[in-house]
Each structure stands twice: as C-alpha cells, then as structure tokens.
C-alpha cells in the first residue's frame, strides 16, 4: 500500500500577498492535510506494510523570499518526513521525502505566475519525477531530489550560510519571477 501526499500549492509575492487567507489555506493543504492523512492511514500501513511518499520541494533546503510561506511549508514536509522515516524504521512501513524542483504542472499558474514562468530547460517533466521517486522508494531511500540541477540547488541551499542563500534566492526569485506574475 502506498500513500502519496502530493497535494499542495504555492503563493508568490511579498508576504502576505496575494492575501492572508491564501497563505493560511496553503499551510492547511501543504502541512495539515499531509499530517492528518498520514496519521489516519498509518495504522492500516502498519498492518499491511507499505510506504508514505511526501512531496516536498527544493524550496525546502533554503529560505525562499517572495515564496516564504510555501518554502517554509516544504521545509516542514522534508524534515517531518525524515523524522517519520526514522520512527518507522523496522516497522515494515517506509517514508520517502521527494524534493523536486520546477516541474511541468499547473503549479505555477495556481501560485499566481503566468504559463511558461519557468523555462522548459529549467523544469522536469512530471513523469521523470515520478520515475526517479519510485526508484528511490524501491531502493529504500528516505530522500530523493530528482534531477542533477535540483541536486545542485539542494546542495548549495544546504551548505552555504542561510543569510547568503536567502539573499541569492531573493535575487534569483525576485528578478526572474517578478516579470512573470500573472496580471
């Protein structure tokens, strides 16, 4: 049995844009729903065996100005899933945190950005993310960052001082994405 917690959405702009209600709904979907679904299905998974696959993001590895609530919610997903995996070790239930970068889905439109906000060369196809995630699950891993570009982003975000990474992210996200905000 496999539980995949893949629901989630983002928000783009200076907090609390687009509005506080949107930010709070983001937390409900990205964090609360994931914890609740996992908590409700974990007893069944423990009986039958299986896995929980939680979709985080490369945003989980560094602060993300202009997407502050989203990035923080995905940091929660990453760390919570890794902790859950440690708690489940030896139980017959696996937990895997998947941290994709930009992926060709409707995510960016829902976050308030125009179609094509991310250049095709910077994003992965959803099928590629799925394939790498299932391979990681089969190998018993607890964390997968699909794609070499995403691995580089995660590595930099995890090793450089947080204030540097935050400034770099602010410049990269701000310059690139501000021109892509849907009107």
CA 144 to chain centre: 11
* Mean of the per-residue pLDDT values of the chain: 89
Q: Which of 29-33, 78-82, 118-122 has the lowest mean pLDDT?
A: 118-122
Answer whether residue 183 is part of any domain: no
- CA distance linking residue 166 with residue 28, whole number of Å: 25
Catalytic residues, by residue number, are: 70
Give this prediction's pTM.
Answer: 0.88
Specify the number of domains making up the chain: 1
pLDDT at 141 over 90: yes
> Looking at residue 12, which CATH number applies to its domain?
3.40.50.720
**Percent of residues, the chain, with pLDDT higher than 70:** 85
How do residues 4-32 score in pLDDT, each as one tens digit? 999 888 888 999 999 999 999 999 999 99
Answer whether residue 154 is part of any domain: yes
Q: What is the mean pLDDT of residues 62-79?
A: 96
- Show the domain range for 168: 2-178
How do residues 168-181 score in pLDDT, each as one tens digit? 999 988 876 555 55
Q: Please report the pLDDT score of residue 85 as a whole number.
A: 98
16 contacts 23 by C-beta, under 8 angstroms: yes
Answer whether residue 27 is part of any domain: yes
Answer whether residue 127 is part of any domain: yes
How do residues 85-110 score in pLDDT, each as one tens digit? 999 999 999 999 999 998 765 555 55
Answer whether residue 165 is part of any domain: yes
68 contacts 170 by C-beta, under 8 angstroms: no
Answer whether residue 23 is part of any domain: yes
Answer whether residue 67 is part of any domain: yes
């Amino acid at each position: 049995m496999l539980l995949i917690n893949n629901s989630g959405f983002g928000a783009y702009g200076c907090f609390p844009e687009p509005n506080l209600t949107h930010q709070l709904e983001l937390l409900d979907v990205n964090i609360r729903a994931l914890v609740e679904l996992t908590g409700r299905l974990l007893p069944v998974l423990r009986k039958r065996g299986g896995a929980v696959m939680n979709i985080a993001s490369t945003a989980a590895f560094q602060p993300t100005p202009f997407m502050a609530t989203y990035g923080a919610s995905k940091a929660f997903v990453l760390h919570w899933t890794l902790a859950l995996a440690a708690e489940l070790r030896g139980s017959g239930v696996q937990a895997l945190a998947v941290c994709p970068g930009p992926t060709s889905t409707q995510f960016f439109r829902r976050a308030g950005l125009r179609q094509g906000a991310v250049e095709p060369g910077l994003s992965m196809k959803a099928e590629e993310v799925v394939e790498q995630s299932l391979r990681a699950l089969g190998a018993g891993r607890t964390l997968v960052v699909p794609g070499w570009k995403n691995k580089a982003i995660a590595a930099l975000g995890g090793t450089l001082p947080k204030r540097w990474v935050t400034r770099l992210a602010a410049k990269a996200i701000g310059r690139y994405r501000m021109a892509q905000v849907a009107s």
